[in-house]
Chain A
């Protein structure tokens, strides 16, 4: 996403000050700090907080929006718990190595949090920030400027149909649905519980919330839905090919600016064994996506940082955002049955990643037989 011009990022609309009776009347310094009486901009900004809602939303937004404020610190956008959990599993257990890893994580991975402000007032830091609309508060975050500004290279592009030969997600194409239609404010703000993965979040999106009739006589595809119920995820039949990412190396250039390097992504579609089987996700087969990770990810900071790479699959459960009612898979039984090319097989996985993906690779014997 193209960053805003520097002055655009900071421009406050006088209409906001005059007409937003809830926020416009609060003196700037009450949230941001700084010295509002100092005419010298350099000294006036001393101690100023660009985003007062981070790190403690309870002291700013939470003063009035108490429910959102108190839960937000446990939400995934704030605590980034899955990053910590996965690093714990993959990291070299040596304490000194771990300290260097933590520092690298702070620089590269953990700066991608979000705050109340970075959804409702400004663009997120990862796209260089900037006020969304002259400091007007957006009750519903603007999808393209906030949600897909961060979740853009995979989710955003899939959802909008940016990949040649692929359709946009039907929810966007036909119904113009924005992210918040499925990802509710309650999910985004957190429910107070700490989750290790976004797939564990109890009030996360569920297809059946809207498509509750697919197993009844009212559904045209009742027979197929009932036949495959709890065996394959909705995405196995209804998603199109999606982006898979490979490798990632992080470091700092000669000017001290942090960077990452990833290999070119590849469009692919792979069905694998469900690595997160649970009551909520009982299916045997799910869609898997290769994530941007590499054993040498943190080599710039410390050698042998990720010695436990095999502890977690590099092909991860995924829920592609490019749903269609009719897809290649569901337009004929034998597009999946007996078609080994759409399953993640041993030969699809690089030799150094075979052990980590052992539990998600589909053995030839588990490919459903041709009909």
Chain B
């Protein structure tokens, strides 16, 4: 009986540990933001798409220093 209790106690502790010990980093961050923003390949592809529709950042009429 005593050994059964011990086994149950150890099992409970193990389950609790698995549930509450956080993994390295944060699982919440494993989202679409991270998927794209940590991939240079994906960013190049998307920013090229955006560049086709975006006006230039600087006007050709600009002269001199600010």
Contacts and interface: CB of A to CB of B under 8 A. Distances in A.
Contacts of A37: 31-32
B37 A18 contact: no
B31 A36 contact: yes
B57 A128 contact: yes
Contact of B24 (A13, A18, A27): A18
B38 A260 contact: no
Given A39-B32, A255-B55, A261 B25 contact: no
Contacts of B34: 12, 17, 28
Interface stretch (A3-11, A88-96, A210-218): A3-11
A264 interface: yes
Interface string A35-70: 111110100100000000000000000000000000
A6 B47 contact: yes
A305 B37 CA distance: 45
A37 B35 CA distance: 11
Interface in A242-294: 245, 248, 251-253, 255-265, 292
A38 B40 CA distance: 19
A17 B36 CA distance: 13
A359 interface: no
B37 A12 contact: yes
A138 interface: no
Contacts of A24: 25-26, 29
B43 A10 contact: yes
A132 B48 CA distance: 21
Given A18-B24, A25-B26, A153-B65, A258 B59 contact: yes
Contacts of A224: none
A251 B46 CA distance: 31
B39 to A, nearest CB: 9
Contact of B61 (A7, A253, A264): A253
A255 B25 CA distance: 45
Contacts of B3: none
B47 A262 contact: no
Nearest to A3: B57
A11 B40 contact: yes
B17 interface: no
Given A7-B40, A13-B38, A17-B38, A245 B65 contact: yes
A257 B55 contact: yes
A159 to B, nearest CB: 15
B2 to A, nearest CB: 42
Given A257-B59, A261-B64, A262-B63, A28 B38 contact: no
B60 A6 contact: no
A14 B38 contact: yes
Given A25-B26, A253-B60, A257-B59, A10 B33 contact: no
A36 B61 contact: no
Interface of A: 3, 5-7, 10-14, 17-18, 24-29, 32, 34-39, 41, 44, 126, 128, 153, 245, 248, 251-253, 255-265, 292
Interface of B: 24-26, 28-29, 31-34, 36-38, 40, 43-44, 46-48, 50-51, 55-66
26 contacts: A6-B43, A12-B38, A13-B38, A14-B38, A17-B29, A28-B33, A36-B33, A38-B32, A44-B32, A128-B57, A153-B65, A153-B66, A252-B59, A253-B60, A256-B55, A257-B56, A257-B57, A257-B59, A259-B61, A259-B62, A260-B63, A261-B62, A261-B63, A264-B64, A265-B65, A292-B64
